[in-house]
A = this chain, B = another copy of it.
Amino acid sequence: MKSAIYTQAGQVGLTEIDRPQLQAADDAIIRIVRTCVCGSDLWSYRNPDIEEGHGNSGHEAIGIVEEVGDAITTVKAGDFVVAPFTHGCGQCDACRAGFDGSCDRHQGGDNFSGGVQAEYIRFQHADWSLIKIPGQPSDYTEGMLKSLLTLADVMPTGYHAARVADVKPGDRVVVIGDGAVGQCAVIAAKMRGASQIVLMSRHEDRQKMALESGATAVVAERGEEGIAKVREIVGGNGADVALECVGTEAAIDQALGVLHNGGRVGFVGVPHYDKTPLGSTFAQNTIVGGGPASVTTYVKDELLKAVLDGAINPGRVFTNTYKLSDVNQAYKDMDDRKSIKSMLVVD
C-alpha cells in the first residue's frame, strides 16, 4: 500500500509498504477515505535534519473499518468511522472525567502503526475511541466529508479550548490564532453562546472565514497594541475568556493580557515554551486549562450530531483538496499559507 514519507527537508513523497496487520486484540485496521495535513506535520516537513524515509506524522482520518481484533465491541468491519488522534479507553478516571485526550491508560503518540497519510492504518486501542458515522462515505457530499474529517482533531480541539475555559452564554470571548484550530474555536464559542467573539488575526481570508462562522470582530494588531484594541472592543474590564490556539509564549501572554480579573484561559496550542508565569496569574485569579482534546467524548456527545444536522460547518477549514499522490503539494501549499488546511483524498 502507499504511505507518505518525508524524503528531505521540504519534501514529502509516497512509498510502497506492507499493509498493516492486526497485532493486538484491541487493534483495528482502517482503510483511509480522507486524511489531511496538520500544522504540526509541518514541523517534520521543515526539519532540516529529518531522516530520509521517515514515516509521516499524520493523525487525522475518516475511513472504513476493515478488520478488528477480538477485544473490539464498539465497531465492526464495514463501519464508516472517525479515527481520532486520541485513543481513550473510556474507563479510566481521566476518560470518565471527560478528558479522553489524556487517557490515563493510553498515553503518548505511539498509537498508530505509522502516520495516517496512507491507504491503511493499524489503529491501536480502538475499542471505545473510534466513532461510528452513520452510513457510508458515498452517502455524503464532499463538503460533509470535510466536516466529518475535522472531527478527528481540529474541531474537537477548538471545542476543548472553549470547554476547559467553560465558555458560557453571554461570555465575551477572544480567540488567539486564526488557523484551523482557531477557526474551530470560533465555531465552538458560538455553539456555547458567547455574545462577543473577537479573533486576533492578520490574514484577510482567515478573518473573513471567522466572521462567517460567528466571530463578531477581528483585531489585526498584536502585543500590547492588540491587547488594547481587544479591550476597547469588549469593553468593561476585559474579556471573560481567551482561547489560545497557537502554542507560543507570546500567544499565552496575549491570552492573559485581554482578560478581566477572574477570567479563564483555554489553551490548546501545543506548547512551544518551557514555562509560563503561572505565579503571575495569582493576582488576577485567572483559571487556566488546556491539553489534548477529548475527541471521542465531544464527537459522541455533541459534535457529530452538530455536523450531520448542518448546525456547524467546520469543513470550510479545508480550503484545498489533493489526491494522496499530490501529498507534496498539499504540504507545500500549507507551508506557503496558500491553504489553511489541506485535505487528502485517498480512495
Contacts and interface: CB of A to CB of B under 8 A. Distances in A.
A286 to B, nearest CB: 7
A260 interface: yes
Contacts of A237: 92-94, 104
Contacts of A276: 275, 278-279
Nearest to A107: B283
A283 B104 CA distance: 11
Interface stretch (A176-184, A200-208, A289-297, A309-317): A289-297
A78 interface: no
Contacts of A288: 278, 287-289
B283 A286 contact: no
A282 B271 contact: yes
Interface string A249-273: 0001000000011110001001101
Interface string A169-199: 0000000000000000000000000000000
Contacts of A103: 261
A290 B262 CA distance: 9
Contact of A260 (B92, B261, B282): B92
B262 A273 contact: no
B289 A285 contact: yes
A119 interface: no
A18 interface: no
Nearest to A284: B102
Contacts of A263: 97
B238 A93 contact: yes
A81 interface: no
A48 interface: no
A102 B238 CA distance: 13
A101 interface: yes
Interface string A227-240: 00000000011101
A281 interface: yes
Contacts of A102: 261-262, 283-285
A164 interface: yes
A91 to B, nearest CB: 10
Interface of A: 92-94, 97-99, 101-104, 107, 164, 236-238, 240, 252, 260-263, 267, 270-271, 273-279, 281-292
22 contacts: A92-B237, A93-B236, A93-B237, A93-B260, A94-B261, A97-B240, A99-B261, A99-B285, A102-B261, A102-B284, A104-B237, A104-B238, A107-B283, A164-B285, A271-B282, A275-B275, A275-B278, A276-B279, A281-B290, A282-B291, A282-B292, A287-B288
